[in-house]
Structure 1
Amino acid sequence: WYEIYFTNPTCPPEAERQGGLDETLAADIAQAQRQVDVAAFDFDAVPMVDALIALEQRGITVRVVTDEDNADQSSINRLRRNGISVMEDGRSALMHDKFVIIDDRITWTGSLNYTSNGVYCNNNNLVRFDSARLAANYTAEMDEMIAGEFGPTSPQNTPNEQLTVNGVRLENYFAPETEIAPILTDLVSQARSEILFMAFSFTLEPLGEAMLDRAAAGVVVQGVFETTGSETEFSYYPLMADAGLPTLQVRQDGNPRIMHHKVIIIDRETVVFGSYNFTANANDSNDENVVIVHDPTFASYFVEEFQAVWDEAKNP
């Protein structure tokens, strides 16, 4: 009922980019029988664009939402020229989601922007869920955005925030109509032995303080920060690097491009992932989604990815 994917960001020249997750997604989109929804902060992945246009030509419903800052690119113009209506958020805060819903049943979500760089150059995660109840949450969010409801004033109407799929407990939240910071802070505060994280951007005070508190209590805390921005005034990288706590270790990432994960793994049994950076903007302003999976097997794949990113990261 789930498949977990991670990018292999070797960043080959444009002409040699093939076999990536954009093609995996496109192949799944091509199977659609009734409807495909795409919410994409940034969207230039040609295989996916081609797949959506082919569906539209077959008479299958295609709905696309994007961020207005990225709406003027050739991929979006191609969709529009081929009869697909693309909704823009029309505000300065971001429509930062990256999800695809197929036939009210399959949901793809994660940190991956549907761009060539996202797939081939940046570290990203992407998960495919087969669950009608989870898909219903994303469809409710998509319906809102198609109706022009973005940001903090959009309705808080996720039908299944807590759900169990095949015996595994999941939580699913949409910011900013739901405040996600307290939920993540509570989770982190309950960590018994270990917190692992990978953060493209991490400035969110309650979350950072909760991690420092757990480290002070002897919990192992290990994190990798995207190097860009990690030295800025509000980043938790310097605060954690200089905390002087024996169980706390942080590194800057080793990918010359972008380490784009937004992942927290707690006690190797709970994983937090999605579009939500650990920032006030993600919490208060942007349209974002988060999935929390409580399952050691699911978590083990993310631990493996963490280990690879950690091993590649730079020692302070």
Structure 2
Amino acid sequence: MKTIEELLFEIAQNTEQKEQFQKELRNLCNKLGVTPADELRYKANLFNNLREKEIDARTISIINLIEQSLKIIQPTAIKIAEPKAFFSPRENCYLNIIEEIEKSKESIDICVFTISDNRISERVIEAHNRGLKVRIITDNEKLFDKGSDIEYLYRSGIDVKIDNTKHHMHHKFAIFDKKRLITGSYNWTLSANEYNHENIVVLKNAKLIGKFVTVFNKLWTEMSDF
């Protein structure tokens, strides 16, 4: 059986194998996330230091292959989306929520204290009618507030679960395609957008979103059907 060093040297000498290796590395990086840019700079310095040492041509060819392959990650690292923050009553938070709803292609999981902004509710129903899997978790006591859209959403065919305890389901977050997250203090109401001092943060951090997905699924099994 060949050692890793022997395999890398063999790949380094073959253009076709090198391209295939780098293609597979790129696919793997896309699945697992990217190496931070500062770590890449550290590795680049490491390769430069290695070249300054007295090493044979075989080892140099392996170092060059690894360095070239790691550079594949660099463009992706630059494109990592920064979190965005929006504040009411000035910045129309509801428009950012609607934007994420309309961009969604597969699923929307909504976990909010209350929903009474018809502009958002209509977009949620449109997403459901487009065939997206839409689920809503909300607080039971807010169902009876004037203007609550929960029953309307439920009667439109959307799955709804409610808190069945004496306490509150006070989360305010939504997950879109399990890839994007909105969270913050903002309730999905007209008052939150027009008058209250609220905030939302839009995130695309896969690790963080995974935690919210876990919490949502746990609540979904614990809460009662509407």
Does residue 167 of the first structure (1) align with residue 76 of the second (2)? no
Encode CA deviations 1:125-168: one digit per residue, 9 max, x unaligned. xxxxxxxxxxxxxxxxxxxxxxxxxxxxxxxxxxxxxxx99934
SS in 1 for 2:186: coil
Larger RCO (alpha carbons 8 Å, 6+ apart): 2
Correspondence for 1:231 among 119, 144, 168:
144
Correspondence for 2:216 among 306, 310, 314:
306
Give me the CA root mean square deviation. Answer: 1.8
Correspondence for 2:164 among 254, 258, 267:
254
Letter in 2 for 1:172: A
Does residue 205 of the first structure (1) align with residue 118 of the second (2)? yes
Task: Indicate the percent of aligned positions where both proteins have the same amino acid.
Answer: 21
8 A contact 1:269–1:297 mirrored in 2:
no
Encode CA deviations 1:170-226: one digit per residue, 9 max, x unaligned. 110111111111111111111100000111111011111101000011000001110
Aligned to 2:181: 271
Off by >2 Å, runs of 4+ in structure 1: 164-169
| Distance in 1, Cα, partners of 2:79 & 2:167 | 37
Cα distance, 1:256 vs. partner? 2.2
Correspondence for 1:191 among 104, 111, 128:
104
Q: What is the aligned residue count? A: 150
Cα distance, 1:289 vs. partner? 1.3
Would you tell me which structure has more helix in proportion to its own residues?
Answer: 2
| Distance in 2, Cα, partners of 1:173 & 1:254 | 32
| Alignment gaps of 5+ in structure 1 | 1-163
| Distance in 2, Cα, partners of 1:286 & 1:165 | 36
- Name which one, 1 or 2, has greater alpha-carbon Rg: 2
Would you tell me which structure has more strand in proportion to its own residues?
Answer: 1
Aligned counterparts, 1:63-74, within 5 A: none
| Alignment gaps of 5+ in structure 2 | 1-76
Encode CA deviations 1:34-57: one digit per residue, 9 max, x unaligned. xxxxxxxxxxxxxxxxxxxxxxxx
Cα distance, 1:229 vs. partner? 1.6
